[in-house]
A and B are shown apart, each in its own frame.
Chain A
Amino acid sequence: EPEVTQTPSHQVTQMGQEVILRCVPISNHLYFYWYRQILGQKVEFLVSFYNNEISEKSEIFDDQFSVERPDGSNFTLKIRSTKLEDSAMYFCASIRDRNPTYQETQYFGPGTRLLVL
């Protein structure tokens, strides 16, 4: 069964460093998302991406964050200058179609656990 993959599974970085989290969505999916989950808390939406541009972003997704789809398969989240509070699990998700009548669901990747020291 197709699945969303993410690399790395864990990343430890120093405060102020740049990190790039990578995702490979399911191949025929068109809509892509990043969410984060701070340890023990709920999952929070960061950004959605369609047709090579951001569709919507949350207040969390400030100028330190950017997303890119550099080729036909990868979808990346970059944090330019990490802060301690960026420590979280970051999930990539994708969905094939957003037609409201479809029984579609967002498929989540396994996540990247980011620790900022």
Chain B
Amino acid sequence: ELKVEQNPLFLSMQEGKNYTIYCNYSTTSDRLYWYRQDPGKSLESLFVLLSNGAVKQEGRLMASLDTKARLSTLHITAAVHDLSATYFCAVDIQGGSEKLVFGKGTKLTVNP
């Protein structure tokens, strides 16, 4: 059974600081997603990572994928309050987006 582990589960940081969220998964996969969820809201797609070594950046967020280590990272640069949300990684083990297996999420709080 595929397991997707995120850490940390809770992250409180100050504005302007950098931090990394980690996502480990237990089965071979070439496709990994990062989603953002605001309280009571739906899931917003942030990144799709398709291959080993893939790196994508959008604003203050940068995601990478190492399929050999079965690890993805979401790096936050110079955090701002608007980034406060829960971030989920999700793994597609069947290469065709049949179903996504989600991590437990990382609740990020950025304090002024």
Residue numbers of A with Cβ under 8 A of B are 31, 33, 35, 41-45, 48, 55-56, 58, 91, 95, 98-101, 103-111
Contacts and interface: CB of A to CB of B under 8 A. Distances in A.
Contacts of A105: 33, 45, 48, 97
A81 B111 CA distance: 44
Interface residues of B, number: 24
Contacts of A108: 35, 42-45
A110 B99 CA distance: 18
A42 B88 contact: yes
Contact of A104 (B88, B97, B101): B97
Contacts of A91: 42-43
Contacts of B104: 41-42
Nearest to A95: B97
